[in-house]
Amino acid sequence: MEEEKEKLKAERRRAKKKRRKERKKQQKSEQGENVKSANAASASSQTDQIKNSKDADLSSEEEDIDTSSAFVAVIAKKKKHVPIPDAKKETHAVPIQKSTAKVTEDPTSVVLRSRQLALRGNEMASLGHYQAAADLFSESIKLDPSDHRFYGNRSYCYDRLCQHERALKDAEKSIALCPAWPKGYFRKGRAMLGLKKYSVAEECFVKVLKLDNDCEDALAELHKVKILQIMEAGYSKDQAEAALSKYGSVKEAISNLVINGISRVAFKDDDVFLSDDETEAYRLMAAKAKKTPRVYDIKTDPNNPENHNSLWIGNVQPGVTEKKLLSMFSKFGEILSLKIMPEKFCAFVNFKSISSPGKAMKEYQGFELGGAKLVIRFPNLPGETSKKKTVISSTDTTPKPQVLMPGDECYFWRTTGCIYGEHCRYR
């Protein structure tokens, strides 16, 4: 991001220097024409002084005559020293000067504007405003339709908006413009995954790994589409995981499941595909959580019943800067201070108004930033101890897998509530 900004600044300086040179060149040409006209005027005046008195008297009388009249034209034929103005030259003089002075738009400035719009699109996408980001990338493409990155970024926004057909179209366009760009195939794979064309998606992610064998995202997506293909054949996720880990390919896994007579189950499109690091302990915890009522935590209530003016933000990754957090949270009100504590993966934001923290919490609770989802709470006051939480009724309280908090702090205690209650080992 910083490198692109530096490139834009350099292009801006070059365009400015070019415009300055063109202005100087035009000024010099105009000054040269003025000097020529002045010299011609002085030469004609000297010639007039040498003329005899009769001609001088005649010329002085003719100063009040309309030189464009037919009478003057007749006299001019008889008296050669009376000049006839050339109407054609005079009428065409101004338009010729205008056409030469016309300046066409510099292609460099067009590219510069397109990249500025793309940077704004990146910022909007990072804030989760994908439709606004897609609109900005569309404007960038209008200015510079040859940049494959604009299509790839817009494909990402359409994928987030579940507009998979549009995402596929942009991904294929980026591949056509730059066949060696791995992200183009990754975007196509994501679009095919959204369209439930799992075998084509697998081919796309394999292509990504051929171009960039260190792409961890492609590895994860490739594993996912393989599992989904086996599940689509009628097997459970556990059966698919076991078969794939043993036989490696989808074809071999399905063949051996059929040969071994493994019973099939109904595959639903709305089945939840959990992450690869799901463990048996988590399954047991999730099953127990279905019978456990959800709890209320006053520290995560966006209504701000305790009238705090500050927020504690957890899961702040090392790549997240204070400038980034300021741009996100300042739209909810004036910020007095903001501090990131990288060793604890958290940050504190202090607002001027007590109405601001609740709005920010409601907007960014669970927001994905830097590869992790933010966890936002109102901080404990000095000397304050954790209060007992009031139980409320809930029909579906299955906790979703999230990134755990750093250190010995339990994620579920911070958000939905620990299912172990008073026996939680983290409390």
pLDDT digits (tens, 9 = 90+) for 395-411: 444 444 444 444 445 54
Distance CA 418, CA 425 (A): 10
Q: Is the domain of 256 the same as that of 303? A: no
Write down the pLDDT at residue 352: 93
The answer as to whether 267 is a domain residue is no
Average pLDDT over residues 95-116: 66
The answer as to whether 422 is a domain residue is no
Condensed to tens digits (0 to 9), the pLDDT of residues 185-195 reads 999 999 999 99
Write down the pLDDT at residue 423: 56
Nearest one of 138, 217, 207 to 179, comparing CA atoms: 207
Angle value at C-alpha 279, between 246 and 245, nearest 5 degrees: 10
Query: For the domain that residue 362 is a member of, what is the CATH number?
Result: 3.30.70.330
Write down the pLDDT at residue 272: 42
The answer as to whether 393 is a domain residue is no
Q: Please tell me what DSSP assigns to residue 68.
A: T
Write down the pLDDT at residue 56: 41
Q: Please tell me what DSSP assigns to residue 181.
A: -
Q: Are 66 and 73 in contact (CB under 8 A)?
A: no
More confident residue, 133 or 416: 133
Distance CA 59, CA 57 (A): 5
Q: Is the domain of 177 the same as that of 115? A: yes
Q: Are 198 and 254 in contact (CB under 8 A)?
A: no
Q: Is the domain of 235 the same as that of 326? A: no
Mean pLDDT taken over the chain: 75
Strands 335-341 and 346-351, bridge-based pairing: antiparallel
Q: Is the domain of 217 the same as that of 322? A: no
More confident residue, 129 or 103: 129
Q: Residue 29: pLDDT band by 50, 70, 90 thresholds?
A: confident
Q: Is the domain of 256 the same as that of 340? A: no
Distance CA 275, CA 290 (A): 20
Write down the pLDDT at residue 57: 45
Condensed to tens digits (0 to 9), the pLDDT of residues 340-387 reads 988 888 999 999 999 999 999 999 999 988 888 899 999 876 655 545
Q: Is the domain of 206 the same as that of 135? A: yes
Question: How many domains are contained in the chain?
Answer: 2
- Please say if the pLDDT value at position 87 is more than 80: no
Condensed to tens digits (0 to 9), the pLDDT of residues 193-206 reads 999 899 899 999 99
Coil, helix or strand for 278? coil
- Please say if the pLDDT value at position 279 is more than 60: no
Distance CA 218, CA 200 (A): 14
Q: Residue 23: pLDDT band by 50, 70, 90 thresholds?
A: confident
The answer as to whether 225 is a domain residue is yes
| pTM for the whole structure | 0.42
The answer as to whether 42 is a domain residue is no
Could you tell me the residue range of the domain that residue 347 belongs to?
Answer: 299-377
Query: For the domain that residue 186 is a member of, what is the CATH number?
Result: 1.25.40.10
Q: Is the domain of 123 the same as that of 253? A: yes
Q: Is the domain of 121 the same as that of 246? A: yes
**Please, which contacts does 104-108 make with residues 24 or more away whose CB atoms are closer than 8 Å?**
106/15, 106/18, 106/19, 108/11, 108/14, 108/15, 108/18
> What phi and psi values does residue 210 have, to the nearest 5 degrees?
-70, -35
Average pLDDT over residues 91-114: 60
The answer as to whether 112 is a domain residue is yes
Condensed to tens digits (0 to 9), the pLDDT of residues 43-81 reads 555 555 544 444 444 344 444 445 555 544 555 555 544
Q: Is the domain of 306 the same as that of 176? A: no
Distance CA 86, CA 251 (A): 89
The answer as to whether 271 is a domain residue is no
Q: Are 402 and 368 in contact (CB under 8 A)?
A: no
User: Which DSSP helix (H) or strand (E) runs through 249?
Assistant: none
- Please say if the pLDDT value at position 98 is more than 50: no
Write down the pLDDT at residue 20: 84
Q: Is the domain of 111 the same as that of 246? A: yes
The answer as to whether 41 is a domain residue is no
Distance CA 27, CA 34 (A): 11
Q: Is the domain of 113 the same as that of 242? A: yes
Write down the pLDDT at residue 399: 42
- Assigned token pair, 325: 């957090």
Average pLDDT over residues 219-238: 87
Q: How far is CA 267 from CA 197, 233, 239, 279, 413, in A?
A: 15, 8, 12, 21, 33
Condensed to tens digits (0 to 9), the pLDDT of residues 140-165 reads 999 999 999 999 999 999 999 999 99
Give Rg (Cα) of the chain: 37
Last residue of a domain, one of 260, 284, 313: 260
Average pLDDT over residues 77-104: 46
Q: Are 99 and 300 in contact (CB under 8 A)?
A: no
Give burial (CB, 10 Å; 0-12/13-18/19+) of 363: middle
Side chain identity, residue 121: G
Write down the pLDDT at residue 236: 83
Q: Is the domain of 372 the same as that of 311? A: yes
Give the other-Cβ count within 10 Å of 145's Cβ: 12
Write down the pLDDT at residue 424: 55
Q: Are 157 and 166 in contact (CB under 8 A)?
A: no
Write down the pLDDT at residue 357: 92
Write down the pLDDT at residue 401: 40
Nearest one of 1, 11, 85 to 324, comparing CA atoms: 1
